């Protein structure tokens, strides 16, 4: 269908198409022909049924050709700007935070507005926002700040010190009873239930100086005198050099 032949349907007319197909069992091709639109356009209308019905409840006048702008446009725009900045910072944002921030913005803008679950759903759909799980810690490190620190700040702090006297330490957890997250199975074996994952751990502190001439490690357990170290002389006090 050419651009000149395209037909704009009101929300009410689009809902009539949906009812014709789903309630009256009219074939989609027949419904498209009845309303003078293409088959693909009719298919798209069916896919956005929930959004159309939400618009009907929110806007009232379903004979409009276009959805009217939200009466809370200022709040929505301010919230979108805040959300964009929060994502750029790598902040964690959940539904509760969105609603809380929207309420705060409404107060600041002197708008009578209470963010509901329905509003939140429509807001996320309109902005194509969905919940995603984090993978790894790729967003945890600020590489530009780290490079700035190493290049400009750290050399100033080291000035006047011998490399062997500059030390660094870090902490790591040792889950000594941990098992792999999966296992080999015969093809067709649908059993995928895992077992309870042991949380037993030791904490290790590792120390080293700048020139690498000294390296030390301290293991911190749960007991002051672990049975596994019976008859073994131990000390948690490390004196490098």
CATH of residue 112's domain is: 1.10.10
Report pLDDT for 55. 60
**Whether residue 234 is found in the same domain as residue 170:** yes
SS3 221: coil
Inside any domain, residue 102? yes
**Whether residue 171 is found in the same domain as residue 202:** yes
CA angle (60 as vertex; 56, 64 as ends), nearest 5 = 80
**Whether residue 120 is found in the same domain as residue 78:** yes
Residues with Cβ within 8 Å of residue 79, at least 6 apart in sequence: 98, 101, 102, 105, 123
The alpha-carbon radius of gyration of the chain (Å, integer) is 31
**Whether residue 165 is found in the same domain as residue 222:** yes
Report pLDDT for 191. 46
Number of compact structural domains in the chain = 3
Report pLDDT for 17. 92
What range defines the domain where residue 50 resides?
7-59
Report pLDDT for 120. 84
**Whether residue 174 is found in the same domain as residue 227:** yes
SS3 209: strand
Q: Tell me the HSE value of 46 on the side-chain side, using a 13 A CA sphere.
A: 17
**Whether residue 38 is found in the same domain as residue 78:** no
**Whether residue 21 is found in the same domain as residue 78:** no
| pLDDT by position in tens, the chain (length 241) | 444 355 677 778 888 999 999 988 999 999 999 989 999 888 988 888 877 776 666 545 555 554 444 557 778 888 888 888 777 776 778 888 888 888 888 887 777 788 888 888 888 888 778 777 654 455 556 677 788 888 888 888 888 889 899 898 888 888 888 766 555 544 444 545 555 667 788 888 898 998 999 998 888 766 666 677 677 766 554 554 4
- pTM comes to 0.33
């Amino acid at each position: 269908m050419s651009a000149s032949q395209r037909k704009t349907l009101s929300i009410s007319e689009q809902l009539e198409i949906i009812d014709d197909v789903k309630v009256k069992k009219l074939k989609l091709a027949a419904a498209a022909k009845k309303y003078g639109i293409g088959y693909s356009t009719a298919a798209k209308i069916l896919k956005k049924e929930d959004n159309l019905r939400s618009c009907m409840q929110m806007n009232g006048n379903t004979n409009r050709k276009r959805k009217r702008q939200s009466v809370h446009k200022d709040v929505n725009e301010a919230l979108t700007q805040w959300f964009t900045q929060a994502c750029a910072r790598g902040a964690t944002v959940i539904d509760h935070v969105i609603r809380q921030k929207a309420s705060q913005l409404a107060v600041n803008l002197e708008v009578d507005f209470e963010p509901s679950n329905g509003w939140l759903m429509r807001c996320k759909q309109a902005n194509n926002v969905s919940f995603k799980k984090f993978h790894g810690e790729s967003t945890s490190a600020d590489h530009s700040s780290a490079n700035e620190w190493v290049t400009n700040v750290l050399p100033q702090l080291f000035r006047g010190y011998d490399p062997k006297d500059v030390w660094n330490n870090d902490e790591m957890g040792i889950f000594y009873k941990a098992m792999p997250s999966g296992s080999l199975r015969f093809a067709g074996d649908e059993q995928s239930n895992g077992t309870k994952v042991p949380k037993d751990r030791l904490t290790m502190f590792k120390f080293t100086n700048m020139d690498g001439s000294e390296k030390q490690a301290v293991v911190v357990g749960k007991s002051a005198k672990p049975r596994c170290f019976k008859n073994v002389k131990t000390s948690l006090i490390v004196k490098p050099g």
